[in-house]
Amino acid sequence: MKPTVVVALSGGVDSSVTAALLSEKGYQVIGMTLALEPVTGAAAGRVVTGAREAAAALGIPHIVVDMQAEFEREVIGYFGREYLGGRTPNPCVRCNRLIKFKALVDQARALGATKIATGHYARTGYLPETGRFRLGRGADLKKDQSYVLYNLTQEHLARAVFPLAGYTKTAVKEKARVLGLPVVGKPESQEVCFVPDNDYRGFLRDRYPVARFTPGPFLNTRGEVVGTHQGLAFYTVGQRKGLGLALGSPVYVVALDPGRNVVVVGEDPETYNHRLFAGGLNWVDVPDLTVSLAVTAKIRYAAKPAPAVVHPVAGGREVLVEFTTPQRAITPGQAVVFYNGDWVVGGGTILRRD
């Protein structure tokens, strides 16, 4: 008999097929759903109900774990603080490490399970020569989620199973249809689960006092005032739409300066840079970086990996990343993730471009 595995079950097609595939392989599967907001709320209620229906269809036990306080503190609070500080956060990266995989490991320990699983399109491996567990790209490169998982620890990866590693999204949907799972036809989850309609500006306005959104100057790259912005939280590097500027030709956000409450705008070529600094590092294939390393790097989820060299600086607490070709809209607060072929070397949070 194969070991017991705790599966993160959201009631969607990916997590439901993940649980089904593990059951077919002989694992003893337990579905786990996170309550991230009051289950009396419409969205949370749909998630829990959908997960229960999927578990019932699969004939597996199902538990609900209350993580509301942790989610509020570690993800939603962080999301707001970052935007108000002139950075663009990636809440999914933080949630995976501090909420989802933490809860999976905690429940696995409590239930005597040796493995945990999610419906991410990624894969794991093991390097005998270093004794380290690995994280790699999934087969469906359009759906690959190794970027948002780069921050997982060795304990997470040692326990993790990603059954969708070799599947395409189309094949997963077909598997759900063949199995007759109640998830077929359900809409995909939204980009940020706690932001209604992905309207992060509306979310911030509702959550924080108007006083936190202080207007200030738009400056061009020559330092000239060209308009007034509505608050740093409403802008991100690379943005063109919604600036409210009529300067005769398209302009883009080039940089945010929280110290001066300034939004710098410029033409599209001015959004490109060769270098960035990153901190908050997490290494996967190596225990630490002590020498410069050639990699390919992604500066956002949808970006194509680009050749770069990573240099340790500040005693290893930060890295300087130098790209062979300039990258558009390097954005403080977002993740930069380093790859060796299909395997994640590590990554960190972008601090500033250079």
Condensed to tens digits (0 to 9), the pLDDT of residues 114-159 reads: 999 999 999 999 999 999 999 999 999 999 999 999 999 999 999 9
Shortest CA distance to 285 belongs to which of 335, 337, 320?
Answer: 337
pLDDT at 271 over 60: yes
3-state secondary structure of 123: strand
- The predicted pLDDT at position 1 comes to 67
pLDDT at 44 over 60: no
Distance CA 252, CA 15 (A): 38
24 — phi, psi (to 5°)? -60, -30
CB 90 within 8 A of CB 58: no
What residue ranges define each of the domains in the chain, with the CATH number in brackets?
Answer: 4-196 (3.40.50.620), 213-266 (2.30.30.280), 272-353 (2.40.30.10)
User: Stretch 312-328: mean pLDDT, rounded?
Assistant: 97
- The predicted pLDDT at position 76 comes to 95
Question: What element of type H or E holds 221?
Answer: none
Structure tokens at 206: 């509702």
Distance CA 20, CA 25 (A): 9
Confidence band, pLDDT 50/70/90 cuts, at residue 38: low
Give this prediction's pTM. 0.94
Confidence band, pLDDT 50/70/90 cuts, at residue 210: confident
User: Stretch 271-282: mean pLDDT, rounded?
Assistant: 98
3-state secondary structure of 204: helix
Shortest CA distance to 264 belongs to which of 283, 245, 287, 288?
Answer: 245
- The edge-to-edge listing of strands for the beta sheet with 62-66 is 62-66, 28-35, 4-8, 115-117, 160-161
- The predicted pLDDT at position 264 comes to 98
- The predicted pLDDT at position 191 comes to 72
The residues annotated with a catalytic role in the active site are 95, 193
**Where do the H-state alpha helices sit in the chain?**
13-24, 42-58, 68-71, 77-84, 91-95, 101-111, 146-149, 154-159, 169-179, 200-207
- The predicted pLDDT at position 23 comes to 97
